[in-house]
Amino acid sequence: MTERTAPPAAPPVNIPFNRPSVIGDELENIRTAVQQGHTSADGPYSAAAAEILRTETGAAEVLLTTSCTAALEMSAMLLDVGPGDTVVVPSFGFVTTALAYSRQGARIHFCDIEPDTLGLDPARLAEVMDPSVRAVVPIHYAGVAADLAGIRSVMAAWPRAELVEDNAHGLFGSLDGQPLGSFGRFATLSFHETKNFTCGEGGALVVNRPEDVERARVVYHKGTDRSAFLMGQVDKYSWQDTGSSFGLSDVLAAYLVAQLERRTWVLERRRSVFDRYASLLAPHAEELGFRVPVVPAGRTQGYHMFYVLFEDRPTRDSVLGSLRAAGIHATFHYVPLHSSTGGRRVAAAEADCPVTDDASGRLLRLPFFNELTDDEIDLVVDRLLTAARTARSV
């Protein structure tokens, strides 16, 4: 009688979706910030982080905020968005890209996206433009520039509409050599734990026009001219305008500076992770009916994520389930904004966004972080290909 032995069990795996890590002087900086006593906003580390971002984007001013959401809210205040106005955002996007404007009383046009970059579609934008549009807010999805030439050419006929770039994903990406975040009247950044550069929770408002700087500082400083006071331009500060408490603590700015100082290393690491996923997956795309990200010529990406678009939702869901069962924490997003409960409540009109609906059901995001190793990437790819083959054969 021959003895049957079970095949060796696959070793347990635990590959998180994101694994933030210390990459430089974060802890030393935080200690110094606390010891030197300036722990509120506008301290020396805030100045250092803002200076890096200003230099890299060529902005007139960069104001560090508690989140990208807060920066979007600042842009809504600075554009005096209110009842009677509409704002255009991609339906394939984050809640607060819309909510920052709807909470000011505007109604939202949820616009569809292009099937290749998953960024706002200029042709669909043209359909919703009218004199009520006060802002158009494209997202540079996955850190790849939206079609800004197309978007700006549509907007040219509507001078009341201002461009605000939601650049939560695309810091240090560029379009035809120009940094993302430098095209709009305003741009917003995120330093949330899940982003390329983090301080836990944080963000920034990028102010590109010199004439907006003074008011932006007032809105940032709780509606006061404290900024002018700190610069010795007035002898006391007082309430001037709308605003709120938007400033990032210098303790978190200290964390952020350490991350930004290593931007060359971070981008190079993430490029290498992206390229490895792409080179291992692309050869199987046709056979297994999926596609990998498209990065059109002239668009240097910020390397925020790697995603796969499967041929249909059941395949995506099946692969997602298999990866999770194997200890690989892949995920998906975005739930379309135009059909969400909150989105319907603030919609300017009934929105038809078939590309958004389609991408939302088919997209799978793979683990992606600075220190993801080649072995881990190979394992994710191996399990994904096996799961995709299984899903196709049933």
Ligand X SMILES: Cc1ncc(COP(=O)(O)O)c(C=O)c1O
Q: Say whether residue 209 binds ligand X (CB under 6 A).
A: no
DSSP state of 140: -
Judged by CB under 6 A, the residue of 61, 114, 162, 166 near ligand X is: 166
Neighbours of 235 (CB within 10 A): 7
Residues numbered 189 to 208 that lie near ligand X (CB under 6 A) are 190, 192, 203
Residues numbered 43 to 62 that lie near ligand X (CB under 6 A) are none
- Tell me whether residue 67 or residue 104 sits nearer to ligand X (CB atom): 67
Q: Say whether residue 227 binds ligand X (CB under 6 A).
A: no
Residues numbered 313 to 332 that lie near ligand X (CB under 6 A) are none
Judged by CB under 6 A, the residue of 29, 46, 57, 67 near ligand X is: 67
Could you tell me the smallest distance in angstroms from the CB atom of residue 71 to ligand X?
Answer: 8
Residue 140 makes CB contacts below 8 A (sequence gap 6+) with 119, 146, 165, 166, 167, 169, 170, 173, 180, 302
x/- binding map, residues 98-137, to ligand X, per CB under 6 A? ----------------------------------------
Q: Say whether residue 139 binds ligand X (CB under 6 A).
A: yes
Q: What residue type is 202 in one-letter code?
A: G
Handedness of CA 270, 275, 281, 286 (dihedral sign): positive
SS3 238: coil
- Tell me whether residue 68 or residue 351 sits nearer to ligand X (CB atom): 68
Judged by CB under 6 A, the residue of 86, 97, 102, 301 near ligand X is: 97
Judged by CB under 6 A, the residue of 46, 57, 91, 96 near ligand X is: 96
- Tell me whether residue 203 or residue 293 sits nearer to ligand X (CB atom): 203
- Tell me whether residue 173 or residue 203 sits nearer to ligand X (CB atom): 203
**Binding segment for ligand X among 90-98, 115-123, 364-372, 382-390 (CB under 6 A)?**
90-98
Neighbours of 105 (CB within 10 A): 13
Q: Say whether residue 258 binds ligand X (CB under 6 A).
A: no
Q: Are 383 and 326 in contact (CB under 8 A)?
A: yes
Q: Say whether residue 75 binds ligand X (CB under 6 A).
A: no
- Tell me whether residue 196 or residue 224 sits nearer to ligand X (CB atom): 196
Q: Are 154 and 122 in contact (CB under 8 A)?
A: yes
| Widest distance between CA atoms in the chain | 97
Size of site (CB under 6 A) for ligand X: 14
Could you tell me the smallest distance in angstroms from the CB atom of residue 201 to ligand X?
Answer: 7
**Binding segment for ligand X among 8-16, 145-153, 163-171, 236-244 (CB under 6 A)?**
163-171
Based on the number of CB atoms within 10 Å of its own CB, is 262 exposed (0-12), middle (13-18) or buried (19 or more)? middle
Tokens of 130: 């009218």
Which residues are bridge partners to 164 per DSSP? Answer: 186
**Cα 308 from Cα 316, distance rounded (Å):** 9
- Gyration radius of the chain over CA positions: 22
Across the beta sheet with 299-300, what order do the strands follow?
178-179, 174-175, 299-300
Q: Return residues touching ligand X (CB under 6 A).
A: 67-69, 93-94, 96-97, 139, 166, 168-169, 190, 192, 203
